[in-house]
Amino acid sequence: MSKIALTGNASGTGVFTIASPNSNTDRTLTLPDEAGTVDTLQRAGNVLQVVYGTTSTIVQSSTSTYIDTGLSASITPSSTSSKILVIVDQNGCGKSGDTFVQAILVRNTTDLIQFGYPAGFDNTTGYNVIGSMSCTYLDSPATTSSVTYKTTFSSSNNISFVQLQWNSLVASTITLLEIAA
Protein backbone atom coordinates (compact mmCIF):
# COMPACT_ATOMS: atom_id res chain seq x y z
CA MET A 1 0.00 0.00 0.00
CA SER A 2 1.31 3.45 -0.97
CA LYS A 3 1.72 6.07 1.72
CA ILE A 4 1.05 9.80 1.68
CA ALA A 5 3.68 12.12 3.12
CA LEU A 6 3.35 15.87 3.58
CA THR A 7 6.68 17.67 3.73
CA GLY A 8 6.86 21.28 4.82
CA ASN A 9 9.31 23.79 3.45
CA ALA A 10 12.10 24.46 5.98
CA SER A 11 12.29 28.18 5.20
CA GLY A 12 8.54 28.82 5.06
CA THR A 13 6.61 30.17 8.03
CA GLY A 14 3.05 29.98 6.66
CA VAL A 15 0.55 27.24 7.44
CA PHE A 16 -0.72 25.14 4.51
CA THR A 17 -4.23 23.86 5.18
CA ILE A 18 -6.08 21.17 3.26
CA ALA A 19 -9.78 21.60 3.93
CA SER A 20 -12.65 19.36 2.94
CA PRO A 21 -15.92 20.75 1.59
CA ASN A 22 -19.21 20.63 3.50
CA SER A 23 -20.50 17.39 1.96
CA ASN A 24 -22.27 14.22 3.05
CA THR A 25 -20.86 12.30 0.08
CA ASP A 26 -17.56 10.41 0.10
CA ARG A 27 -15.17 11.76 -2.54
CA THR A 28 -11.89 10.40 -3.88
CA LEU A 29 -9.09 12.52 -5.28
CA THR A 30 -6.72 10.37 -7.32
CA LEU A 31 -3.26 11.78 -7.85
CA PRO A 32 -1.35 11.01 -11.06
CA ASP A 33 1.49 8.50 -10.86
CA GLU A 34 4.13 11.07 -11.80
CA ALA A 35 6.11 13.90 -10.27
CA GLY A 36 5.06 17.46 -10.96
CA THR A 37 3.38 20.57 -9.72
CA VAL A 38 -0.35 21.06 -9.32
CA ASP A 39 -1.51 23.55 -11.94
CA THR A 40 -3.98 26.31 -11.18
CA LEU A 41 -6.57 27.61 -13.62
CA GLN A 42 -5.38 31.17 -13.22
CA ARG A 43 -1.84 30.43 -14.48
CA ALA A 44 -1.00 32.75 -17.39
CA GLY A 45 -1.89 31.19 -20.73
CA ASN A 46 -4.54 28.77 -19.45
CA VAL A 47 -7.89 28.74 -21.23
CA LEU A 48 -10.53 29.54 -18.61
CA GLN A 49 -13.67 29.27 -20.76
CA VAL A 50 -14.78 28.89 -24.37
CA VAL A 51 -17.92 30.40 -25.94
CA TYR A 52 -19.14 29.64 -29.46
CA GLY A 53 -21.62 31.36 -31.73
CA THR A 54 -22.93 30.61 -35.21
CA THR A 55 -25.42 31.83 -37.79
CA SER A 56 -26.49 30.66 -41.21
CA THR A 57 -29.06 33.38 -41.88
CA ILE A 58 -28.36 35.22 -45.14
CA VAL A 59 -27.66 38.97 -44.92
CA GLN A 60 -27.24 41.45 -47.78
CA SER A 61 -26.26 45.09 -48.00
CA SER A 62 -25.79 47.60 -50.80
CA THR A 63 -24.71 50.47 -48.57
CA SER A 64 -21.36 51.58 -47.21
CA THR A 65 -22.94 51.87 -43.75
CA TYR A 66 -21.88 48.92 -41.59
CA ILE A 67 -24.68 46.57 -40.49
CA ASP A 68 -24.72 43.45 -38.31
CA THR A 69 -23.94 40.10 -39.95
CA GLY A 70 -25.99 38.19 -37.37
CA LEU A 71 -22.81 36.58 -36.02
CA SER A 72 -22.17 37.25 -32.32
CA ALA A 73 -21.22 35.68 -28.99
CA SER A 74 -21.03 36.99 -25.42
CA ILE A 75 -18.57 36.13 -22.66
CA THR A 76 -18.14 37.25 -19.05
CA PRO A 77 -14.43 37.36 -18.16
CA SER A 78 -13.52 36.02 -14.72
CA SER A 79 -10.80 38.66 -14.22
CA THR A 80 -10.09 42.17 -15.48
CA SER A 81 -6.63 40.98 -16.55
CA SER A 82 -7.97 38.19 -18.79
CA LYS A 83 -7.46 38.32 -22.53
CA ILE A 84 -10.15 37.22 -24.99
CA LEU A 85 -8.98 35.40 -28.12
CA VAL A 86 -11.60 35.93 -30.84
CA ILE A 87 -11.65 33.62 -33.87
CA VAL A 88 -14.07 34.51 -36.69
CA ASP A 89 -14.87 32.52 -39.81
CA GLN A 90 -17.31 34.54 -41.91
CA ASN A 91 -18.56 32.24 -44.69
CA GLY A 92 -20.63 32.46 -47.85
CA CYS A 93 -19.34 35.87 -48.95
CA GLY A 94 -20.48 37.12 -52.35
CA LYS A 95 -20.77 40.33 -54.30
CA SER A 96 -22.37 41.87 -57.37
CA GLY A 97 -21.01 44.73 -59.39
CA ASP A 98 -17.74 46.56 -58.92
CA THR A 99 -17.62 46.31 -55.13
CA PHE A 100 -16.12 44.28 -52.32
CA VAL A 101 -17.06 43.17 -48.79
CA GLN A 102 -15.76 45.21 -45.88
CA ALA A 103 -16.05 43.61 -42.42
CA ILE A 104 -15.26 44.78 -38.88
CA LEU A 105 -14.92 42.87 -35.60
CA VAL A 106 -16.75 44.81 -32.86
CA ARG A 107 -16.62 44.55 -29.03
CA ASN A 108 -19.92 45.92 -27.65
CA THR A 109 -19.92 49.19 -29.64
CA THR A 110 -16.16 49.55 -30.22
CA ASP A 111 -14.67 48.68 -33.62
CA LEU A 112 -11.61 46.47 -33.04
CA ILE A 113 -10.22 45.47 -36.44
CA GLN A 114 -11.22 45.52 -40.08
CA PHE A 115 -10.78 42.19 -41.86
CA GLY A 116 -11.44 40.65 -45.25
CA TYR A 117 -10.59 43.96 -46.89
CA PRO A 118 -10.92 44.01 -49.90
CA ALA A 119 -12.60 40.61 -49.98
CA GLY A 120 -13.92 39.66 -53.38
CA PHE A 121 -12.54 42.56 -55.36
CA ASP A 122 -11.82 41.32 -58.87
CA ASN A 123 -12.14 44.61 -60.79
CA THR A 124 -15.22 43.36 -62.65
CA THR A 125 -18.89 44.21 -62.54
CA GLY A 126 -19.87 40.55 -62.46
CA TYR A 127 -21.45 38.57 -59.70
CA ASN A 128 -19.28 36.10 -57.80
CA VAL A 129 -19.04 34.11 -54.59
CA ILE A 130 -15.71 34.63 -52.89
CA GLY A 131 -15.92 32.03 -50.14
CA SER A 132 -14.91 33.13 -46.66
CA MET A 133 -13.14 35.80 -44.63
CA SER A 134 -11.50 35.08 -41.31
CA CYS A 135 -10.04 37.01 -38.41
CA THR A 136 -8.14 36.18 -35.22
CA TYR A 137 -7.83 38.93 -32.62
CA LEU A 138 -6.48 39.01 -29.04
CA ASP A 139 -8.48 41.54 -27.02
CA SER A 140 -8.02 43.00 -23.53
CA PRO A 141 -11.52 44.10 -22.46
CA ALA A 142 -10.41 44.88 -18.84
CA THR A 143 -13.79 44.02 -17.31
CA THR A 144 -15.67 41.29 -15.48
CA SER A 145 -18.96 42.36 -17.08
CA SER A 146 -20.49 40.55 -20.03
CA VAL A 147 -18.85 41.47 -23.34
CA THR A 148 -20.43 40.87 -26.77
CA TYR A 149 -18.31 40.35 -29.86
CA LYS A 150 -19.94 40.59 -33.29
CA THR A 151 -19.13 41.29 -36.90
CA THR A 152 -20.50 44.03 -39.13
CA PHE A 153 -20.16 44.47 -42.89
CA SER A 154 -20.80 46.85 -45.77
CA SER A 155 -20.49 47.27 -49.53
CA SER A 156 -17.49 49.34 -50.58
CA ASN A 157 -19.14 51.25 -53.45
CA ASN A 158 -22.46 52.06 -51.74
CA ILE A 159 -24.38 50.74 -54.80
CA SER A 160 -23.80 47.05 -55.54
CA PHE A 161 -24.81 44.43 -53.00
CA VAL A 162 -22.62 42.15 -50.91
CA GLN A 163 -23.90 39.01 -49.21
CA LEU A 164 -22.89 36.77 -46.29
CA GLN A 165 -24.06 33.26 -45.27
CA TRP A 166 -24.75 32.54 -48.94
CA ASN A 167 -28.45 31.78 -49.47
CA SER A 168 -28.57 30.51 -45.85
CA LEU A 169 -26.66 27.42 -47.01
CA VAL A 170 -23.43 27.97 -45.05
CA ALA A 171 -22.74 28.88 -41.43
CA SER A 172 -20.41 31.52 -40.07
CA THR A 173 -18.80 30.97 -36.65
CA ILE A 174 -17.25 32.98 -33.84
CA THR A 175 -15.27 31.42 -30.98
CA LEU A 176 -14.27 33.30 -27.81
CA LEU A 177 -11.55 31.93 -25.52
CA GLU A 178 -10.84 33.56 -22.16
CA ILE A 179 -7.09 33.36 -21.55
CA ALA A 180 -5.60 33.91 -18.08
CA ALA A 181 -2.99 36.69 -18.09
Question: Domain holding 143: CATH number?
Answer: 2.60.120.760
Find, among 124, 106, 107, the residue nearest to 115 by Cα: 106
What pLDDT, on the 0 to 100 scale, is given for residue 142? 97
Residue 39, exposed/middle/buried by CB under 10 A (0-12, 13-18, 19+)?
A: exposed
- Residue 166 inside a domain? The answer is yes
What pLDDT, on the 0 to 100 scale, is given for residue 18? 82
The domain containing residue 154 runs over which residues?
47-179
> What's the number of domains the chain is made of?
1
What pLDDT, on the 0 to 100 scale, is given for residue 90? 94
Query: How would you classify the pairing of strands 128-139 and 47-55?
Result: unpaired
The model carries a pTM of: 0.79
Question: Taking the chain (181 residues) in consecutive chunks of 10 residues, what is each chunk's mean pLDDT?
Answer: 80 83 85 77 89 97 94 97 97 82 94 78 65 93 98 88 90 97 90
- Residue 84 inside a domain? The answer is yes
What pLDDT, on the 0 to 100 scale, is given for residue 117? 66
